[in-house]
Amino acid sequence: MEYLVLQILPYISVTIFVVGVMYRLGKWASARIVHNIVLTPAPPTLGGAAVNYAAEVALFRSLFKGDKSLWAGAWIMHFALLNIIGGHIVGFAFLGEQFKFIGTSAELSKEMSNLLGTTFGIVIWVALLYLLYRRFAINEVKLVSAPADYLHLLLLLGIVTCGNLMRLIPEYGVHYETAQTYFIQLATFQPVHLEHINFIFVLHLLLVQILMIVFPFSKLMHLFGMFAERWIINRPYVEPAPGLPGVKVSASSSTTTVTAGGKTTAGGV
Amino acid sequence: MAGEKKYKAPNKATVAEMRALFIDPVPDERKVDEALKHLKYLVEKYRPLMLAMESCTKCGHCAENCHTYLGTRDPNNIPTNRADLFRKAWKAAYTLEGKLFGKLVGAEPLSLDTIEKMYSYFYQCNECRRCAMVCPFGIDTCEVTFAGRQLLHWLGMVPKLQAQVGAAMYRTGNHTGLPKPGLVDTCEFLEEEMLEETGVEIKIPIDKPNSDVLYIPSSADFLLNPNTMMGAAKFFHYLGVNWTMSSEIAEAGNFGLLFDQRYTMRHNIMRLLNEAVKLGVKKIVWGECGHGWRTGKMYVPSMADRPIPVPIVHLHDEVSYYIRTGQLKLNPEVNSNPTTLHDPCNFVRACNMADTLREVITAVTTDFREMTPNRERNFCCGGGSAILYDEPEMYDLRIKFSAKKAEQVRATGVGEHGEGYLVAPCSICKAQLYPMVEEHQLGVEVKGLIDLVGTALYPPIKKND
């Protein structure tokens, strides 16, 4: 069982994840943006549009304007998730000593790494529980939910719970070194060593791999959908020039002259 | 087909009426197969539609932001559930997860019943795009409604109202089906009206050769909203613009946007561009029509079969420009009634006009009060996308859809003494709001925005009474 989950399945799940996501993105790309469906008010410059785009993607601005509690649950969850994924990468790469690069000692860096990891682990767990609670408690959300929507949350909760158990209960703890060795062996196609590895760690990895397999075939694709959809509706728009042909300036003190002929600047997208 | 009616829906166009739109209705036994073919074609062609199918997380944020759901509390009127009518069929027929796991992942094979349900709920959507605005991903459920109605059109399922209007447009160049003599007569009548009211001789020309500006009015402005027509005429007259309308395209609306974004929409657009060349105008100015202006502004570039010959602008963008540059002498005190503004969805969420409308209305009235929410966050009037059906159960739905709007108008207090103005610069909004302000007893009169510009430019002569 351990051999299957830790040695064989990872190659399968990573392949499915990568190929699956590329297939889906390829299908999206082959569909066209036929009409200009920009949502207004739209800024006239690309810079302005970039600011809107960034505010939506990084801060979930639309959600913030409309529903503060959903925003809190969703944004905190995603922010913690981003940090946890980043933490896994740098933690395993630098064995917890990544903060040396911003001037801490190796000791302090390890402590910070542990503290941040534990904190975000608990934060995301609470946020996920809130999102699950919402699905049960708010009638409208219940009305739109399919069984898979609950299962996704339960899967994430399972992953996070395993992670937290490893963090908080010493006997389930797995050291950065062990994890690093494991990933290097996996990445270089060597047999993995299965000592120092406990049941919770195996379960954690199994659930993560299930998530990777499910990802391309589920709403989890919203990660990419966010960027793709925003690219369609948050764009700049340049208004055509005003001014009617043949209008004589009437008795006015205005300094602006009328644009005769009414030529547009570049209208459209 | 006739008889049993499971879902609230407007009466369908007859076979003859569909054939007038060059569509042969698909018989029931072939509908599901045909629909699945169209579904695949549409989803794989339109990226916004495909993204709506594949990246909604069902967070439920759209529910409380859709006035049709707020007004009816019908779960199928939650935008993401409306999209599910499409999404379920798409998943079941064309995705791996749907084929393997079915209901677990929200997939459900398409059935004749679902198609009837689509007909009901895609024609209960106002296409206002408030859900697109609030969606964290920007998923535009309006695109799903568009595609749904397109599919239904290809199956031969279009409401009588939309089908008849589409056919009238094809025949006469306007939605009311008025032939040229009718248009000319009406304009002469309105000219007399204006002379009597203002003492100034103001023309409303039709098919006048050698004009500079082609004005595209909503055809409802000839009969239903004459003040809007007169307002536009006064504005052009004031500036001395050499303008005309065209009997070939006396219509700002384009129902192609609402039920057939292919032939019907393109045909109307080409009719417009042809006429602009024939009359040799230098600029096209659009009148007060929300969905029509969205088409004119956003869809002409992607639908036109040849380069667009002249700039196309909106009347209020011009009015606000001349107000901004101080070239209009306005008398706002003639519009002193408490006034509020209903932002047409297409103007504020699709055409960048929120500021423009405010520049104009604050210049021509003295007691302007904002609704809350306003601008791009405004709610639809409940008539959006011309679901202006008169069958009792559909009319009842329209009252419910406008409940949120009524609440908003009441909160401004403009109608407290029964003399408020509710300004709605859009023909469909007006057609919906005329009866709705009565149903909800709001104490307001529905006005167009250019109407008020007209009176502010040429204050009525006092009659001795």
Subunit contact B58:A225, Cβ cutoff 8 A: no
Evaluate whether residue A85 is within a structural domain: yes
Range of the domain at A35: 2-233
Q: In chain B, which residues have pLDDT < 70?
A: 1-4, 463-465
Phi and psi at residue B286, in whole multiples of 5°? Answer: -90, 145
Task: Report how far residue B46's alpha carbon sits from residue B53's, in angstroms, rounded to the nearest whole number.
Answer: 11
Q: Which chain B residues are within 8 Å of A228, Cβ to Cβ? A: 47, 51, 55
Q: What is the pLDDT of residues B155-203, one digit of tens each?
A: 999 999 999 999 999 999 999 999 999 999 999 999 999 999 999 999 9
Evaluate whether residue A251 is within a structural domain: no
Single-letter code of the amino acid located at B205: P
Task: Report how far residue B67's alpha carbon sits from residue B264's, in angstroms, rounded to the nearest whole number.
Answer: 28
Number of structural domains (chain A) is 1
Subunit contact B213:A241, Cβ cutoff 8 A: no
pLDDT interval class at A196 (50, 70, 90): confident
Subunit contact B325:A247, Cβ cutoff 8 A: no
Per-residue model confidence (pLDDT) at position A48:
95
Across the interface, of A74, A217, A224, the residue whose CB is closest to B97 is A217
Q: Which chain A residues are within 8 Å of B41, Cβ to Cβ? A: none
**Collapsing DSSP states into helix, strand and coil, what is residue B314?**
strand
For every residue of B50-114, DSSP letters joined together read: HHHHH------TTGGG-HHHHHH--GGGSHHHHHHHHHHHHHHHH-HHHHHHGGGGT-----HHH
Q: Is A88 exposed, middle or buried (0-12, 13-18, 19+ CB in 10 A)?
A: middle
Asked if B135 is an interface residue toward chain A (Cβ–Cβ < 8 A), one would say yes
Q: Which chain B residues are within 8 Å of A230, Cβ to Cβ? A: 137-138
Across the interface, of A36, A42, A148, the residue whose CB is closest to B104 is A148
Could you tell me which of B201, B314, B341, B214 has the C-alpha nearest to residue B274? Answer: B214
Asked if A238 is an interface residue toward chain B (Cβ–Cβ < 8 A), one would say no
Per-residue model confidence (pLDDT) at position A258:
36
Asked if residue A252 has pLDDT above 60, the reply is no
Q: Which two tokens stand for residue B120?
A: 């009901």
Subunit contact A141:B242, Cβ cutoff 8 A: no
Across the interface, of A31, A242, A245, the residue whose CB is closest to B46 is A31
Single-letter code of the amino acid located at A105: S
**Nearest residue in chain A measured CA to CA from B325:** A254
Asked if B212 is an interface residue toward chain A (Cβ–Cβ < 8 A), one would say yes
B44–chain A nearest CA distance, Å: 5
**Nearest residue in chain B measured CA to CA from A68:** B61
Asked if B95 is an interface residue toward chain A (Cβ–Cβ < 8 A), one would say yes
Q: What is the pLDDT of residues B331-377, one digit of tens each?
A: 999 999 999 999 999 999 999 999 999 999 999 999 999 999 999 99
**Collapsing DSSP states into helix, strand and coil, what is residue B339?**
strand
Is A92:A183 a contact under the CB 8 Å cutoff? yes
Asked if A95 is an interface residue toward chain B (Cβ–Cβ < 8 A), one would say no
Which of A40, A60, A79, A263 best tests the B interface by mutation, with the highest count of B CBs <10 A?
Answer: A40
Asked if A193 is an interface residue toward chain B (Cβ–Cβ < 8 A), one would say no
**Nearest residue in chain B measured CA to CA from A242:** B318
Phi and psi at residue B194, in whole multiples of 5°? Answer: -70, -35
Per-residue model confidence (pLDDT) at position A264:
33
Across the interface, of A27, A244, A262, the residue whose CB is closest to B239 is A244
Q: Which chain B residues are within 8 Å of A261, Cβ to Cβ? A: 282
Interface of B with A in 287-306 (CB under 8 A): 298-299, 301-303
Q: Is the dihedral of CA A194, A196, A198, A202 positive or negative?
A: negative
Asked if residue A255 has pLDDT above 60, the reply is no
A205–chain B nearest CA distance, Å: 23
Q: What's the CA angle centered on B326, arms B322 and B329, to 5 degrees?
A: 90
Subunit contact B327:A63, Cβ cutoff 8 A: no
Interface of B with A in 425-444 (CB under 8 A): none
Asked if A265 is an interface residue toward chain B (Cβ–Cβ < 8 A), one would say no
Evaluate whether residue A268 is within a structural domain: no
Q: Which chain A residues are within 8 Å of B134, Cβ to Cβ? A: 62-63, 65-66
Subunit contact B55:A225, Cβ cutoff 8 A: yes
**Nearest residue in chain B measured CA to CA from A260:** B282
CATH number of A208's domain: 1.20.950.20
Evaluate whether residue A240 is within a structural domain: no
Q: Is the dihedral of CA A119, A121, A124, A130 positive or negative?
A: negative
The percentage of residues in chain A with a pLDDT greater than 70, rounded to a whole number, is: 92
pLDDT interval class at A187 (50, 70, 90): very high
- Tally of CB atoms within 10 A around B32: 20
Task: Report how far residue B319's alpha carbon sits from residue B314's, in angstroms, rounded to the nearest whole number.
Answer: 9
Q: Is the dihedral of CA A88, A90, A92, A93 positive or negative?
A: positive
Task: Report how far residue A158's alpha carbon sits from residue A125's, in angstroms, rounded to the nearest whole number.
Answer: 9
Q: For the residues A11-37, what does the mean pLDDT come to?
A: 96
Q: Is B94 exposed, middle or buried (0-12, 13-18, 19+ CB in 10 A)?
A: middle
Residue keyed to tokens 């009060």: B369
Task: Report how far residue B341's alpha carbon sits from residue B421's, in angstroms, rounded to the nearest whole number.
Answer: 8
B297–chain A nearest CA distance, Å: 8
Phi and psi at residue B340, in whole multiples of 5°? Answer: -125, 160
Asked if A188 is an interface residue toward chain B (Cβ–Cβ < 8 A), one would say no
Subunit contact B63:A31, Cβ cutoff 8 A: no
* Structural element, H or E, at residue B446: strand B444-447
Subunit contact A243:B350, Cβ cutoff 8 A: no
* Structural element, H or E, at residue B444: strand B444-447
Evaluate whether residue A136 is within a structural domain: yes
Evaluate whether residue A248 is within a structural domain: no
Task: Report how far residue A70's alpha carbon sits from residue A190's, in angstroms, rounded to the nearest whole number.
Answer: 45
Q: What is the pLDDT of residues A59-80, one digit of tens each?
A: 999 999 999 999 999 999 999 9
For every residue of B272-313, DSSP letters joined together read: HHHHHHHHT-SEEEE-S-HHHHHIIIIIHHHH-SS---S-EE
All CATH 1.10.1060 domain ranges of chain B, comma separated, are 24-157
Residue keyed to tokens 């999102």: A131
Asked if A55 is an interface residue toward chain B (Cβ–Cβ < 8 A), one would say no
pLDDT interval class at A246 (50, 70, 90): confident
Asked if A38 is an interface residue toward chain B (Cβ–Cβ < 8 A), one would say yes
Asked if A230 is an interface residue toward chain B (Cβ–Cβ < 8 A), one would say yes
Is B241:B152 a contact under the CB 8 Å cutoff? no
Subunit contact B56:A222, Cβ cutoff 8 A: yes
Asked if B127 is an interface residue toward chain A (Cβ–Cβ < 8 A), one would say no
Q: Which chain B residues are within 8 Å of A32, Cβ to Cβ? A: 45-47
pLDDT interval class at A267 (50, 70, 90): very low
- Give the number of A-B residue pairs with CB atoms closer than 8 Å: 243
Per-residue model confidence (pLDDT) at position B189:
96
3-state secondary structure labels for all residues of B143-193: HHHHHHHHHHHHHCCCEHHHHHHHHHHHHHCCCCCCCHHHHHHHHHHHHHH
CA A122 remoteness from chain centre = 18
Asked if B242 is an interface residue toward chain A (Cβ–Cβ < 8 A), one would say yes
The residues facing B444 across adjacent strands are B420
CATH 3.40.50 applies to domain B24-157? no
Asked if A19 is an interface residue toward chain B (Cβ–Cβ < 8 A), one would say no
